[in-house]
Amino acid sequence: MIEARELCKNFKDKKRGVVKAVDHVSFSCKAGEVYGLLGPNGAGKTTTLRILSTALKPTSGTAIINGTDVTVDPQKVRSQIGFLSGNTGLYGRLTAREMVTYFGNLYGMEKQAIRRRSDELFALLDMKDFADSRNEKLSTGMKQKVSIVRSVLHDPPVMVFDEPTNGLDVMSSRTIVDFIKHCRDSGKCVIFSTHIMSEAMRLCDRVAIIHNGRIYREGTVNDLLQATGQNNLEDAFIKIVGE
């Protein structure tokens, strides 16, 4: 479903010169699997996910999403993925329904399909009471639900979550975590980035430790714990990065 091949992304920075934000990153993720990118801020997680979701072009290397090369047909890739990040915003002056409909249209969905699917998702996420209120009036948790519906409306086979629980309270985080599980259980290929180790332990089938733009080690959580001889992921992470 997702296959990253030797992805590199360089940025030019006035002070630091050329910065290798992503440095020869390769991994793969199958349908029905949650793959975690685990690393501190500035490790290259967001950049990697932005390349996968075609917001950025890789400097070299490529990624294949559901059979389509991101560098060859980014438009097609976009219709295959759902994207959600912790700081995703909403259009405050639109209602949840209007916002979701807008994206449904952009994803080329038919009017009835948008209506049917959004009603279904509003019911699933218990959003019926505020589906027609303006987004600016909603609480953080409600907003996050709107974002979820927006990301999954077109029923993409691949889901990309960039630090999805960043800045959320416990209840909202729980909604997101449940939603990620729901995606996995319905057979989607899920890639997700976080710097919260406990979240990675709970959710990920496999994780990659990413630091300074490079993947240090990859495997199931148990693999990493065993390989480092630690009993929690945080210590394993420090050990791996410190080596």
Partner 1 sequence: MQLRNIGTIFRKEVKDTIRDRRTMIFAFVMPIMAMPLLMTVIFKIQMGAVQKIEHARSDIVIQNIAELPKDLHDSLMADTSLFQVKTEADYPGKNLLDELKQKAFQLLVIVPNNFTKAIELESPTGIEVYYDRGEELSSAAYGKLDSVMTCYRDRVVESRVVKRQISKDVLRPFDIQGNNVASAQKVAGKLFGGIIPYFLILTCFLGAMSPAIDLGAGEKERGTIETLMVAPATRGEFVLGKYFVIMLTGIMAGLMSLASMTIFFRYMASDPTMKQMAEMLAIQFDMRTLFLILAVVIPVAGIFAAILLSISIFAKSAKEAQGYVGFLNFVLVLPAFAALVPGVELNYQIALIPIVNISLIIKYAIAGTIEWKYVITAFVSLFALAALALYFAKRWFEREEVLFRM
Residues within the interface to partner 1 (CB under 8 A)? 50, 53-57, 75-76, 78-79, 81, 83, 85, 87-94, 98, 102-103, 105-108, 150-151, 160
Residue 226: CB minimum distance to partner 1, A:
36
Closest CA to 212 of 2, 4, 8: 8
Pick the closer one to partner 1 by CB: 100 or 207: 100
Continuous segment of H or E residues that includes residue 201 = helix 197-203
Residue 39: CB minimum distance to partner 1, A:
19
Pick the closer one to partner 1 by CB: 148 or 221: 148
Pick the closer one to partner 1 by CB: 45 or 78: 78
Residue 168: CB minimum distance to partner 1, A:
14
Pick the closer one to partner 1 by CB: 150 or 211: 150
Closest CA to 156 of 91, 90, 68: 68
Closest CA to 58 of 88, 100, 24: 24
Cα distance between the two ends of the chain: 31
Pick the closer one to partner 1 by CB: 74 or 219: 74
Residue 87: CB minimum distance to partner 1, A:
5
Q: Is 99 exposed, middle or buried, given 0-12, 13-18 or 19+ CB atoms closer than 10 A?
A: buried
Residue with tokens 């360089």: 10
Pick the closer one to partner 1 by CB: 92 or 187: 92
Residue 107: CB minimum distance to partner 1, A:
6
Token reading at 161: 């979550």
Residue 68: CB minimum distance to partner 1, A:
12
Distance CA 99, CA 107 (A): 13
Q: Which CA distances in Å does 13 have to 4, 19, 37, 50, 105? A: 25, 7, 24, 19, 37
- Tell me the backbone φ, ψ of residue 206, rounded to 5 degrees: -135, 150
